[in-house]
Amino acid sequence: MAPLPSHPRAVIFDLDGTLVDAYAAIHESIGVVLEAFGRPPITRDETRRMVGHGLEVLVAKAVGEENVAEGVRLFRERYERVGLESTRLLPGAELVTRRLFEKGIRLAIASNKPARFTRPLLEAFGLASRFGFVAGPDDGFPPKPAPHMVFMALATLSVPAREAVFVGDMPIDVATARAAQLSIIALPSGSATRIELEACSPDAIVENLEELLPLLLAS
């Protein structure tokens, strides 16, 4: 664990489970894939525990590596229909991103969710203009925990790693931040429990998004 920067100039967020609850849409979409391959349905909680490592990994877990290409096609087809209407901002997401943006802190998204899904969500929620960088593996980056998306975010925002903070909800986000030499704040609002996050030793854990503000806007 390391001290958080006293006056961070940039905050890089994960998306699913961190800023938005997209599990209903993901669950419905992976359900279509399971049905297509004659697999039994899974619960929404089981879906929640499977996400975070990228769409191809999710589909491989559900229906096997040999079915990834067709499974991804089916998932995307359904998700493009239900993603916007079924996804919700997590409590505090609008307030926290607005306050950080108003304070001049640069914001970015580095997510294993395909950016083709992320960008329309941000537009629909009215948050897109707050983010100076948004990326996913479909932009040509290796998925997290590879740090490449984070490196490009820092370069685009012109902020060094020592003056940035990563915020995420999974152990993979902690690993990503460590690989990029960023401080990391974790919150148990997504796919991992507080106990699982504590085991990864992030630099701080908060229970909800609004608890970020005293840490990130400390005088």
Q: What angle do CA 203, 172, 49 make, to 5 degrees?
A: 115
H or E segment at 166?
Answer: strand 164-168
> Which amino acid, residue 16?
D
Tokens of 111: 């997510």
**Global pTM exceeds 0.85:** yes
Same topology, domains 10-21+88-216 and 23-86? Answer is no
pLDDT in tens, 82-133: 888 889 999 999 999 999 999 999 999 999 999 998 999 999 999 999 999 9
The residues near 139 (Cβ < 8 Å, ≥ 6 apart) are: 115, 149
Q: Which CATH architecture has domain 10-21+88-216?
A: 3-Layer(aba) Sandwich (3.40)
CA 140 to chain centre: 17
What topology is assigned to 23-86 in CATH? DNA polymerase; domain 1 (1.10.150)
Kindly report whether the peptide bond that precedes residue 145 is cis, defined as omega within 30 degrees of 0.
yes
Region for residue 82 given its phi and psi (left: phi exceeds 0; alpha: psi -120 to 50; beta: otherwise):
alpha
Residues acting as catalytic residues: 14
- What ranges do the domains of the chain cover? 10-21+88-216, 23-86
pLDDT of 195-204, one tens digit each? Answer: 999 999 999 9
